Structure 1
Amino acid sequence: MKAVVMEKFGELPTVQTVPDPSPAPDGVVIKVEATGLCRSDWHGLMGHDPDIRLPHVPGHELAGTVAAVGRDVTRWRAGQRVTVPFVAACGRCAECASGNQQVCEHQFQPGFSAWGSFAEYVAIDHADTNLVALPEAMDFATAASLGCRFVTSFRAIVDQGRVRPGEWVAVHGCGGVGLSAVMIASAMGANVIAVDLSDEKLDFAKKVGAVATVNASTTQNVVKAIKQITNGGAHMSMDALGHPVTCANSINCLRRRGRHVQVGLMLGDHTHPQVPMAKVIAFELEILGSHGMQAWRYPAMMEMIRSAKLKPELLVGRHYALDEAPAALMAMGSFEGLGIGVVTRF
């Protein structure tokens, strides 16, 4: 099969012919019909993820059809349309037993700890735990766009952030995950403020639900601006980028007893950001992480998509060929373009 192969960290990957995967006894092989380009993949390419062993095939936002099934799989058959959470769970540990597969003690991640979906085929273990059926009406590009950024935002806003109608929500960073969060928080009835450096992204954020925007490149004090808009601070705020500045702004813009959710990865030089802990204590703030979403939670999100409360197809940006993926991946070091890029031609 054709696949994008990383041979050295920080250098341009190449498209190569590599052996087709075979399913594990409890796994499947999926024919990849679409796979998203995510900044997390760029972090992996730069060597920020200790689980990656070279040579390596990246890619973790995928949708496709089941091509081969292991002998122990009971719920899936060849030809079914599926996607999979980027955190694939073992189905047996204590966290899985409690329903928290997104923090599985023995998790594997396609594109990081296992070869991923920038390829014609990808193997997924523990298929009965991890696969999610796709509605026939959903195209593969939209389904792939859900795989990391949209589902992560759904859990961050709905489950971790516990957003309620009428609350003020600030979203710092309007890449794929941030725009997803804007749309989801708006659908939950919140008043959303989008923060970014780009007027183009902020204008798009308004189209998907933001009621106010702050351009951090031209606003002298982002925190002050948010507090003025919200008359005291956000009830919930999310760092969708993963940078010490956006992390600090997200915490500092909260009103008393507000909730900060960190979704943007803090890797490389940003691993240890300064946190205003005195304010966390004095204001009784909550600092929460959010890491993907369990396969069993997808139906709630899918129902909101079916009813058109959520329209993730609006967030899909440029379509790429697999041969274009290496250059597009390298370019993500300067942050994402508008919308979610998806490889749809193999």
Structure 2
Amino acid sequence: MRAVVFEEFGGPLTVREVPVPACPADGVVVRVAATGVCRSDWHGWQGHDDGITLPHVPGHELAGTVAQVGPAVRDWRVGDVVTVPFVCACGRCAACLAGEGQVCERQTQPGFTHAGSFAEQVALDHADVNLVRLPAGMTPVTAAALGCRFATAFRAVTVHARPRAGQWVAVHGCGGVGLSAVMIAVADGARVLALDVSPAARAAALGFGAELALDPLACGSGSPDDVAAAVRDATGGGAHASLDALGSPAAAVASVLGLRRRGRHVQVGLLLGAAATPPLPMDRVVGWELELYGSHGMAAREYPAMLARIAAGELAPENLVGRVITLDDAPSALAAMSEPPTSPGMTVIAP
């Protein structure tokens, strides 16, 4: 089969023939119909994630058709049309037994722990725990957009941020996950303040229902203190909930400082390497009784609630897809993430 491969971190990305992956005993091999190009894939290519073995095939947001089924799989058959969370849970550890598969102690992740979905086929572990059947009428391109950014944003907003109608939600960073969070928070009745340095991203956020959009660089000196002050001014005292959907120490600090008392900060963007331990203002967290959350995807068991809202027309993740490309275009699309984005929305590969 054809796949995108890199043999060194940050090195060339090439499309070439590789063996079809072996089918796990309790898993499946999926023929990929669509897969998203995510900044997490870029981080993996750059060597920011532990556990990647070279040479490697990236890709973790996918949808397609089951092509092989392992002998221990009960619920799935060849020909089923599916998607999957980017965290494949084991179904047996303490976290999984508590219903928290997104933080599984023995999780696997296509595109990180093993070869991913920038390929014509991909192997997935623990199929009975992780596969999600696509509802009738949902295209693979739309489903691929769910697997990481939209599902992560859905859980971040509905489980952690928990806005009530009329409350303010600040979204720092309006890439794929940030725009997803804007859409979901607006659908929940929140008033959304979007922040991004890109005029196109701010315009997109307004198009998805954000009430206000700010350029962080235009907030005083652009420091976290000044950005937070602008958020507090715009929201009449601070956001009730705030998300760092960018993944930077400055955005994380501004997100926390921009909250009102008893507010909730949700860290959605990855903070890796030297940025992994930002100096958060814990004095404010204690004095104002703020809540801090991380958000790491969403388990397969939680997908039905999200899919029901999509089917009802409350959410339209297909509108977040900016362009669809071929597998041959994938190396340049991933490499382009080394530079600031030129257009908002998600890029999806259709192999």
Cα pair distance change 1:98/1:105, threshold 3 Å: same
SS in 1 for 2:218: coil
Deviation, 1:218, is: 2.1
Q: Distance in 2 between the 1:101 and 1:272 partners? A: 25
Which residue is 1:177 aligned to? 177
Q: Which one is further off, 317-326 or 247-256?
A: 317-326
Name the TM-score, length of structure 1 as normaliser: 0.98
Which residue is 2:108 aligned to? 108
SS in 2 for 1:250: helix
Q: Write the letter of the residue equivalent to 1:338.
A: P
Deviation, 1:22, is: 2.4
Deviation, 1:268, is: 2.2
Choose which of 290, 296, 318 in structure 1 pairs with 2:323: 318
Which residue is 1:8 aligned to? 8
Which residue is 2:223 aligned to? none
Which residue is 2:121 aligned to? 121
Choose which of 334, 337, 347 in structure 2 pairs with 1:341: 347
Deviation, 1:118, is: 0.2
Which residue is 1:235 aligned to? 240
> Is 1:205 the equivalent of 2:205?
yes
SS in 1 for 2:64: strand
Deviation, 1:334, is: 2.0
Which residue is 2:92 aligned to? 92
Contact 1:171 1:237 in 2 (8 A): yes
Q: Which one is further off, 330-339 or 116-125?
A: 330-339
Contact 1:145 1:340 in 2 (8 A): yes
Q: Distance in 1 between the 2:218 and 2:241 partners? A: 23
Q: Distance in 1 between the 2:13 and 2:53 partners? A: 14
Q: Write the letter of the residue equivalent to 1:205.
A: A
Which residue is 1:284 aligned to? 289
Alignment of 1:246-257 (within 5 A): 246-257=251-262
Q: Which one is further off, 265-274 or 28-37?
A: 265-274
SS in 2 for 1:217: helix
SS in 2 for 1:32: strand
Which residue is 1:134 aligned to? 134
Q: Distance in 2 between the 1:187 and 1:335 partners? A: 28
Q: Distance in 2 between the 1:134 and 1:177 partners? A: 21
Deviation, 1:72, is: 1.2
SS in 1 for 2:96: helix
Alignment of 1:214-229 (within 5 A): 214-220=214-220, 221-229=226-234
Q: Which one is further off, 151-160 or 222-231?
A: 222-231
Which residue is 1:165 aligned to? 165
Contact 1:214 1:222 in 2 (8 A): no
Q: Distance in 2 between the 1:122 and 1:106 partners? A: 19
Which residue is 1:260 aligned to? 265
Q: Distance in 1 between the 2:163 and 2:337 partners? A: 30
Deviation, 1:44, is: 0.4
Choose which of 297, 300, 303 in structure 2 pairs with 1:295: 300
Deviation, 1:162, is: 1.8
Could you give the per-residue CA deviations for residues 97-133 of structure 1, whole angstroms, max 9, x where no partner exists?
A: 0000000000001000111000000000100000000
Q: Distance in 1 between the 2:186 and 2:12 partners? A: 38
Q: Distance in 1 between the 2:6 and 2:288 partners? A: 46
Q: Write the letter of the residue equivalent to 2:203.
A: D
Alignment of 1:3-82 (within 5 A): 3-82=3-82
Q: Distance in 2 between the 1:11 and 1:227 partners? A: 43
Q: Distance in 2 between the 1:214 and 1:19 partners? A: 48
SS in 2 for 1:123: strand
Q: RMSD value over aligned CA atoms?
A: 0.9
Deviation, 1:96, is: 0.4
Q: Write the letter of the residue equivalent to 1:261.
A: V
Could you give the per-residue CA deviations for residues 5-56 of structure 1, whole angstroms, max 9, x where no partner exists?
A: 1100011211110001121111100000000000000000110001111011
Name the TM-score, length of structure 2 as normaliser: 0.97
Q: Distance in 1 between the 2:219 and 2:132 partners? A: 42
Superposition misfits of 4+ residues, deviation over 4 angstroms? none
SS in 2 for 1:272: coil
Which residue is 1:186 aligned to? 186
Could you give the per-residue CA deviations for residues 244-294 of structure 1, whole angstroms, max 9, x where no partner exists?
A: 110111000000010000010001221111100111111111111010001
Q: Percent identity?
A: 57
Q: How many residues align?
A: 345
Q: Distance in 2 between the 1:12 and 1:232 partners? A: 49
Gaps of 5+ in 1: none
